[in-house]
Structure 1
Amino acid sequence: LSRMGAGKDIPVGTAVAGRGDAALDGLVGFFVNTLVLRSDVSGDPSFVELLSRVREGDVDAYAHQDVPFERLVEDLNPARSLGRNPLFQVSLGLQGAPAVGEGRLWDLPGLRVRPLESGAEASARVDLALDMAEHRDGDGNPAGIRGAFLYATDLFDERTVVGLAERLVRVLEQVASDPAARVSEVAVLGPDERARVLDEWNATERDVPVRPLGELFDARAAVSPDAVAVVGAGGEEWSYGELGERSDRVAGVLAARGVGRGDLVAVVLERSVDVVAVLLGVVKAGAGFVPVDPAYPAERIGWMVEDAGPVLVVCSEGTRGLVPAGVGCLVWDPSDVAVESPSAVSVDVDEVAYVIYTSGSTGRPKGVAVTHRGIGNLVSAQIERFAVGADARVLQLASLSFDASVWEMVMALLSGAALVMAGPDRLPPHGSLTEVVAEFGVTHVTVSPSVLAMVDGLPESLGTVVVASEVCPPGLVERWAPGRRVVNAYGPTEVTVCATMSEP
């Protein structure tokens, strides 16, 4: 379990007979209790050392086996969930009594003893359970140990559990032949699995541009300056050349306000074509942008701005009241012109490009600073997997405070495609995704499965649907995949939006 990613502190549940008191020997009844056996795998011990640790921990646990499991849970008071056991998710059982027909234990005077099999399929009570039993031959001699896995089908499929069983057998064979082997030296994967993980899955070498976001955009704009870069809610269109000029103007205005390399600039603007120019202008000024959705509650906006500590907040007349008092504020006017054209601000790819505030496990927003380094790699993967080209139109659907908005922006602007900035009243939950896609000729959209499930139909123009942020039910794929490319993507904010994608 540790080598498969379960960590170094491994809790495993097991059942005990609950008959430690001799007074119970003559009673018929069910006295079973549950113990939690903790194993410490830290420090890369040898198998002999690990066995000693496990034995010591188990002996201590068995000394307190009469403490009811429910009492233990009550005293420890862990975070509870109806979907999981409070103290362990893996259980192990070992039956020492021989099966019927394998020994004298079941030869009872005047009785015939046979197992009673349940006609119903067993239901998993934990994520993964391994039940093993000692077997004996006709003479009562040991005849090996056999076991069976019971698993939660919501988490595992049969192939995965068969793989776990094979790895367990492989580990047991190795430690039996070399008990002095250290945990790190035990080969968990077989030759074929190892080749698949190290060679096949890791064959990801690509020539990708490793440059700051501003430079990547300027390079793309130089290729096709007259191509449409961004489309506004009212149908207005800016070319790559125009967007480049406007973002340069933003960078000049910011520089005049003292914004420079290494700074952060919060952007509290309504969804529009202007916000795209502002975000690009921030990185061209050498700073990192902190996108703040003005639709968020005022308290959340205030906390995000104060926590980020930006040198400046770019807002509009409509969002100015959301900016905390005492914070430097620039009310953006698209007609603003810098006194002079700014010189290019060179930044390193390991400097911050943007900061995204995630909800965090506590519900309090937590800022994640993301550098420029991964952006070129992200876009290269998007172009390859989603077939994004100069004729594509990418819908900007996500909240500006969500990292998917960066995903959508760079997918379009670093591939030569057009970014569609529909108004918030046209997008779910207020508007119809189907109508927006049809009106603007959208070809690529990234959407959560819950929103996609509410869609009645999708126009033929939409050739690529990326589902993300939630578990995608197979029924959605079956419904929308015919005739188009559907990809399931996932990744934490820390790795530049996306870490893994399914095949189309």
Structure 2
Amino acid sequence: MERTHPHFPLVCEDSTPSVSGGHALPLASGAVLLGALLAQAMAYAGPREVTVRTDTEHTLRLDGTVVGDFVAMAAPVAGARAGFRVVLDPEPADLALTFVFADELTVECAARPRDPAALDRIAAHYLAFLRAAISMPDREVAAVDHRTAAEKQVAARLNDTTRDLTHPPCLHELFEAAADRDPDALALVQGDTRLRFGELEARANGLAARLTGTRIGILATLSVEFVVCALAVLKAGAAYVPLDPKLPDQRLRTLFRLGHLTSLLADPEYAEIATSLTDSWVPVPSGVTSRDRPTRRGTGSDLAYLIFTSGSTGEPKGALLDHAGRANMITDLNQRFGLGPGDRMLVVSSPSFDMSVYDLFGTLAAGATAVLPDRGREQDVDHWARLLVDERVTLWHSVPSALSLVLNLLPSRVDSVRLVLAGGDWIPVDQPSRVHRAFPGAEFYSLGGATEVSVDSVIHRVAPGERFARAIPYGRPLTNQTARVLDRYGREAALDLPGELVLGGVGVGQGYDRRPRLTAERFPADPFRPGARMYRTGDAARLRADGTIELLGRLDQQIKLEGVRIEPGEIQTAIEADDRVREAVVAPRRDASGRAVALVAFVVPDGDPGTLLAELPVRLRSTLHRSSIPGEFRLIERIPLNANGKVDRTWLAAMADQVPEPEVSEVDTVDAVDEFAEAVAEVWTQVLGLAGPPAAHDRFAALGGGSLAATQVVSRLRRRFGTELSVREVLTRPTVAGVAEILRSRAPS
């Protein structure tokens, strides 16, 4: 069984303890040896603070920036003879590495390394620090490049991505080139609407001629109207800002304010919502066309769109993206995948989610067809499954959770799909094999990136039959993009050692709108490419010996749920806005693989809570995206703190993972097993892909259910019983028995 230490991530096989690698070093003075050992501990700890303990119970805390005089630092514990151990605070149950020295230094590990060269690298790293400690004891750890020549070569090859990709500089010009090649080709399909490239071009031209301003909001769902608007805005030389009309009113008003929009285009269907935002909104015209393209031609550095991501301060932050990086990414992927006329992409991502950029502009740039779900059925997975068959879809691109749902609900295998792309979140290790069974002719690719960079920056192909014990590799950077793992000093980390993933190259965006301090922090100068910037993702990662990057988790508190990036701070601020709340903190509940499946809010009331817990979810629906609303709220007396006076995230994570005992009224009894309970259990089994029906007290989120899965549950149960049921009720009455009781109380007698 493979395992990895959380801080010294040497991936190991087997569990045989103390398998010595036999890497002996001649003994120097104990002080110098210990100094080199401390330096190695700091390098191996990635970006985290280091605490070093010895068996003499002497503790030496290092601030994580500079080791001064090695000898002076080691002096207090130099008398200890043997058995120095290096661990991190809090101390883990198992050590991955132990350094023991008596007459010689021996490198041991907790199990056998997966990579046979790992122990050789560890010994070489130690020697590099040891030589530095002896020759230049005042030298900073950051100045010692302890990597071997082979490691440096792996990193250099990984980022040798510069290529000349010939393409128009702007997103709309990619579309225009395809329209010129074949104006009669089918561009968009939605229900009975079939729009050809020439027709789409004419509608976008006609609308573009009427537009003025630099930032134009688009209030529309995923639809033909949205695509026309987005192309028209870009043709007019402006940037589009997607606004989802299904968002809560307060959330929409916040986004409208933060977007600093010069005008608003709106689907007439949402006229009332548009009027609540501004009196000067413009309805999307249906019959205005023109053969003449706007005379203003853009440049690759022009702003193309602004998309909002969750913000830790309580408000969303707007990411600014230009044309050049997105056009490069689209051209690269289309060439890799051989995308062209005859291909059909089923678009399931919301326009407010950056995955839609490739779905729409990438598909149209290739002269292929974008298939859109029918209006009102944008999140109906049963409808998606039918479209895959009826429209002979060849391409799928989504977050893994959406892909899992469609795999659960497919009635049979689909032979038309040739390419499946998953990204934006952790991919279950069994998902590629499920894809290859459902779509026998498909290739499976893992894609990764960030909203602030290109939609996709990193790629990995999973071959049929390939298996992964821990996680699917993040992969290698795309053309003209870079991906590096940096240690706490901003230097490239050695192989298998943790660090922060930073993305660079042409895809790096312009930063955050009107957030200069945050932009400077997250978009620093790229030391590997003079004059360029890079983006610090906040993801913990490591570079493997095979030259692929593997994600390890987050360095901050950010959570990914169903592909949506969530800042707990934004949720906490919204909860604490209630006068009855003194403090709040949010933690994710995770499944066995470590994937976040639900949010749990811990609330400290200010006085008698009364009906607080029942009312909080309702109030949050008016301010937060539904993915950010916790599925469970718990009252606690105080926020737990660790020894450093900080919020004890370890305790919170453990508490969030504990599923509370159900209320007595929700416990199954023989009398309560009726058609309602059986139907709920059956639908949960189908939607969530469970091996067997859940028990009456099983909770939806604990089984892997989220808001998108709840939508499918609601749709199926409504059709079955002809009664009302809401997504919120499935998430707040989260057991089989609880949902069955709602149906039982509302069903016609």
Per the TM superposition, whether the score is higher than 0.5 is yes
Aligned equivalent of 2:602: none
Whole-angstrom distance in 1 between the partners of 2:279 and 2:114: 53
2:77 corresponds to 1:39? no
Q: Aligned to 2:268, what secondary structure does the other structure show?
A: coil
Q: 1:369 to 1:268 in 2, by over 3 A?
A: same
Whole-angstrom distance in 2 between the partners of 1:246 and 1:159: 61
User: Cα deviation per residue 1:4-59 (whole Å; 9 max; x = unaligned)?
Assistant: 8935xx511233568xxxxxxxxxxxxx6976432324xxxxxxxx3328956x89
2:440 corresponds to 1:488? no
Whole-angstrom distance in 2 between the partners of 1:226 and 1:94: 80
Count of aligned residue pairs for this structure pair: 407
- Contact conserved, 1:233 with 1:272, CA < 8 A, in 2? no
The offset of 1:393, in angstroms, is 0.5
2:501 corresponds to 1:463? no
The offset of 1:193, in angstroms, is 2.7
Aligned equivalent of 2:108: 148
- Contact conserved, 2:348 with 2:378, CA < 8 A, in 1? yes
Whole-angstrom distance in 2 between the partners of 1:150 and 1:362: 41
1:51 pairs, out of 54, 60, 68, with 68
Aligned equivalent of 1:73: none
The offset of 1:316, in angstroms, is 2.2
2:286 corresponds to 1:334? yes
Structure 2: gaps spanning 5 or more residues:
1-40, 84-90, 463-749
User: Cα deviation per residue 1:343-397 (whole Å; 9 max; x = unaligned)?
Assistant: 4222221110000111234563211010011122111221133331211101111
1:433 pairs, out of 384, 391, 413, with 384
2:197 corresponds to 1:240? yes
Aligned equivalent of 2:170: 212
Q: Aligned to 1:501, what secondary structure does the other structure show?
A: strand
The offset of 1:463, in angstroms, is 1.0
Larger radius of gyration: 1
Mean Cα deviation higher: 351-360 or 171-180:
171-180
1:253 pairs, out of 210, 218, 222, with 210
- Contact conserved, 2:42 with 2:64, CA < 8 A, in 1? no
User: Cα deviation per residue 1:375-427 (whole Å; 9 max; x = unaligned)?
Assistant: 22111221133331211101111011000111211220111111111125444
Whole-angstrom distance in 2 between the partners of 1:377 and 1:163: 40
- Contact conserved, 1:467 with 1:489, CA < 8 A, in 2? yes
Mean Cα deviation higher: 363-372 or 398-407:
363-372
Q: Any residues of structure 2 matched to 1:131-280 within 5 Å, and which?
A: 131-135=98-102, 143-149=103-109, 165=122, 168-169=125-126, 171-172=128-129, 174-176=131-133, 178-179=135-136, 186-199=144-157, 201-209=159-167, 211-234=169-192, 236-254=193-211, 259-260=212-213, 263-280=214-231
- Contact conserved, 2:395 with 2:419, CA < 8 A, in 1? yes
The offset of 1:464, in angstroms, is 0.8
Q: Aligned to 1:453, what secondary structure does the other structure show?
A: helix
Aligned equivalent of 1:45: none
Amino acid in structure 2 at the alignment position of 1:238: L
Q: Aligned to 2:265, what secondary structure does the other structure show?
A: strand
Mean Cα deviation higher: 374-383 or 463-472:
374-383
The offset of 1:496, in angstroms, is 2.1
Whole-angstrom distance in 2 between the partners of 1:130 and 1:55: 25
2:510 corresponds to 1:472? no
Whole-angstrom distance in 1 between the partners of 2:94 and 2:347: 38
2:31 corresponds to 1:14? no
Amino acid in structure 2 at the alignment position of 1:499: S
1:347 pairs, out of 272, 284, 298, with 298
What fraction of aligned residue pairs are identical, expressed as a percent?
A: 23
Whole-angstrom distance in 2 between the partners of 1:306 and 1:144: 66
Amino acid in structure 1 at the alignment position of 2:285: D
Q: 1:55 to 1:313 in 2, by over 3 A?
A: farther
Q: 1:272 to 1:473 in 2, by over 3 A?
A: same
Whole-angstrom distance in 2 between the partners of 1:494 and 1:395: 24
- TM-score, normalization by structure 2: 0.49
Whole-angstrom distance in 1 between the partners of 2:270 and 2:161: 47
Q: 1:54 to 1:330 in 2, by over 3 A?
A: farther
2:338 pairs, out of 357, 381, 387, with 387
User: Cα deviation per residue 1:140-198 (whole Å; 9 max; x = unaligned)?
Assistant: xxx222233459x9xx9767965862562353255256427665653343223322322
Amino acid in structure 2 at the alignment position of 1:328: S
Whole-angstrom distance in 2 between the partners of 1:444 and 1:216: 19
Aligned equivalent of 2:468: none
Whole-angstrom distance in 2 between the partners of 1:299 and 1:375: 31
The offset of 1:334, in angstroms, is 0.9
Q: Aligned to 1:318, what secondary structure does the other structure show?
A: helix
2:367 corresponds to 1:416? yes
- Contact conserved, 2:165 with 2:332, CA < 8 A, in 1? no
Whole-angstrom distance in 1 between the partners of 2:208 and 2:71: 62
Aligned equivalent of 2:472: none
- Contact conserved, 1:360 with 1:366, CA < 8 A, in 2? yes
1:125 pairs, out of 92, 101, 118, with 92
Mean Cα deviation higher: 370-379 or 354-363:
354-363
Amino acid in structure 2 at the alignment position of 1:131: T
Amino acid in structure 2 at the alignment position of 1:146: T
- Contact conserved, 2:394 with 2:419, CA < 8 A, in 1? yes
Q: Aligned to 2:304, what secondary structure does the other structure show?
A: strand
Q: Aligned to 2:176, what secondary structure does the other structure show?
A: helix
Q: Aligned to 2:206, what secondary structure does the other structure show?
A: helix
- Contact conserved, 2:219 with 2:266, CA < 8 A, in 1? yes
- Contact conserved, 2:49 with 2:64, CA < 8 A, in 1? yes
Q: Aligned to 2:209, what secondary structure does the other structure show?
A: helix
Whole-angstrom distance in 2 between the partners of 1:291 and 1:374: 19
Whole-angstrom distance in 2 between the partners of 1:352 and 1:127: 50
Whole-angstrom distance in 2 between the partners of 1:4 and 1:385: 36
User: Cα deviation per residue 1:105-154 (whole Å; 9 max; x = unaligned)?
Assistant: xxxxxxxxxxxxxxxxxxx928975432222xxxxxxx222233459x9x
Q: 1:465 to 1:337 in 2, by over 3 A?
A: closer
Structure 1: gaps spanning 5 or more residues:
19-31, 42-49, 63-92, 100-123, 136-142
- Contact conserved, 1:94 with 1:132, CA < 8 A, in 2? no
Whole-angstrom distance in 2 between the partners of 1:279 and 1:343: 14
2:352 corresponds to 1:401? yes
The offset of 1:444, in angstroms, is 0.7
Q: Any residues of structure 2 matched to 1:49-88 within 5 Å, and which?
A: 50-52=67-69
2:303 corresponds to 1:369? no
- TM-score, normalization by structure 1: 0.71
Amino acid in structure 1 at the alignment position of 2:62: L
Whole-angstrom distance in 2 between the partners of 1:364 and 1:311: 21
2:459 corresponds to 1:501? yes
Q: 1:98 to 1:15 in 2, by over 3 A?
A: closer
Q: Aligned to 2:216, what secondary structure does the other structure show?
A: strand
- Contact conserved, 2:207 with 2:285, CA < 8 A, in 1? no
Q: Aligned to 1:376, what secondary structure does the other structure show?
A: helix
Whole-angstrom distance in 1 between the partners of 2:120 and 2:404: 33
Q: Aligned to 2:318, what secondary structure does the other structure show?
A: strand
Q: 1:223 to 1:342 in 2, by over 3 A?
A: closer
Mean Cα deviation higher: 239-248 or 444-453:
444-453
Q: Aligned to 2:367, what secondary structure does the other structure show?
A: coil
Amino acid in structure 1 at the alignment position of 2:186: V
Aligned equivalent of 2:487: none
The offset of 1:203, in angstroms, is 3.9
The offset of 1:204, in angstroms, is 4.1
Q: Aligned to 2:345, what secondary structure does the other structure show?
A: strand
- Contact conserved, 2:235 with 2:294, CA < 8 A, in 1? no
The offset of 1:269, in angstroms, is 1.2
